[in-house]
Amino acid sequence: MSLEVNADSKNTIYTPDVARITRIERLSPTEKVFKIVFDDEEIKNKFEFKPGQFVELTVFGLGEAPFSIISNPKNRDFLKLCIRDVGGVSRALHNMEEGEKVGIRGPFGNGYFPYEKMKNQNVLLIAGGLGLAPLMSLIRYILHYREDYKGIMVIYGAVNPESILFKNEIQYWSNRGDISLCLSVDNPDDKWTGEIGICTKLIPRVIFPPDDTYVAVAGPPAMYKYVVYELEKKKYKPENIFLSLERRMECGVGKCNHCHVGNKLVCVDGPVFSLWEIRNLKEAI
């Protein structure tokens, strides 16, 4: 019977662990990166995550919201979150300073980017806007073990040059020479020399063959349909295409039901799904 379960009343699924913000870095007019370290050594040592997973962050007394982890899973001492100031919890975070305390629950999500399966394969990463954040952890991991992977290509679309995130990192990628980059902006300024328009237009140019290519996608909800359309035209396999879905989440642990899409919950079954899993799931993309 389902009632024969061991409940731990000292550490419930809603109890956040206390952590501190050790570094804040401004990325763009609306985004900042927060480096976060758990107060408790034991919790810090136990905390492990996979690319694409997320945490629920509590601003004590104000509220809680889900954010994807952007740091390299290999770094076990801290986690980093990239947060856009859109009001509520994110606004409160943007007003916080280094040294201040937050609460962390997680990591959550059983669906993550399959970095193991991607080994010895080409990896195409497609990001729109803030969608680069959930892909960062995967990109950092792959670059850490660069020799394990074949070709790597990042297609990234932003609204304008000013809103491009992780500029230093992108510069570093282009200096490395072992990762192809395709940047596009909707509204260029005078100095812009890259691509113009939505990033999906760049997909037809990808030369990775369908047989040994994995694709990871993250971006605004409206982007997915077009990206999937282009990827299917190129015959990439639906079981090798992985998309990070965004939904409203309150609990992160499959209880509050806000993130449900049919019989899937984005928080526990995702947030990363293969296209195969969701292609016939109404409302998913």
Contact positions vs another protein (CB under 8 A): 1-3, 5-18, 58-65, 84, 86-88, 90, 101, 103, 220-222, 246-248, 250-251, 253-258, 260, 262-263, 265, 268, 282-283
Q: How far is the CB of 99 from another protein (least distance, A)?
A: 13
What six digits make up the tokens of 29? 């007019």
Burial class (CB in 10 A: 0-12, 13-18, 19+), 282: exposed
Minimum distance from residue 281 beta carbon to another protein (Å): 11
Residue for token pair 């037809």: 204
Nearest-angstrom CA–CA distance, 264 and 77: 32
CA pair distance 52, 60, nearest whole angstrom: 25
Q: Omega before 210 cis (within 30°)?
A: no
Q: How far is the CB of 129 from another protein (least distance, A)?
A: 10
Of the two residues 135 and 202, which places its CB atom closer to another protein in the complex?
135
**Residue 247: count of CB within 10 angstroms of its CB:** 18
Token couple for 190 = 């005078």
In the complex with another protein, which residue's Cβ is closer, 183 or 265? 265
Which is closer to another protein, CB of 43 or CB of 207? 43
**Which whole-number Å values give the CA distances from 157 to 41, 128, 154, in the listed order?**
39, 5, 10
Question: What are the angstrom distances between the C-alpha of 42 and each of 17, 48, 74?
Answer: 11, 12, 17
Select 83 or 154, whichever has its Cβ closest to another protein: 83
Q: How far is the CB of 70 from another protein (least distance, A)?
A: 17
Closer Cβ to another protein, 205 or 258, answer by number: 258
What's the min distance (Å) between Cβ of 221 and another protein?
6
Q: Does residue 220 have a cis bond before it (omega within 30 degrees)?
A: no
Return the number of the residue (210 or 220) whose C-beta is nearest another protein: 220
Closest contact distance (angstroms) between CB of 259 and another protein is 9
> H-helix or E-strand containing 125?
strand 122-128
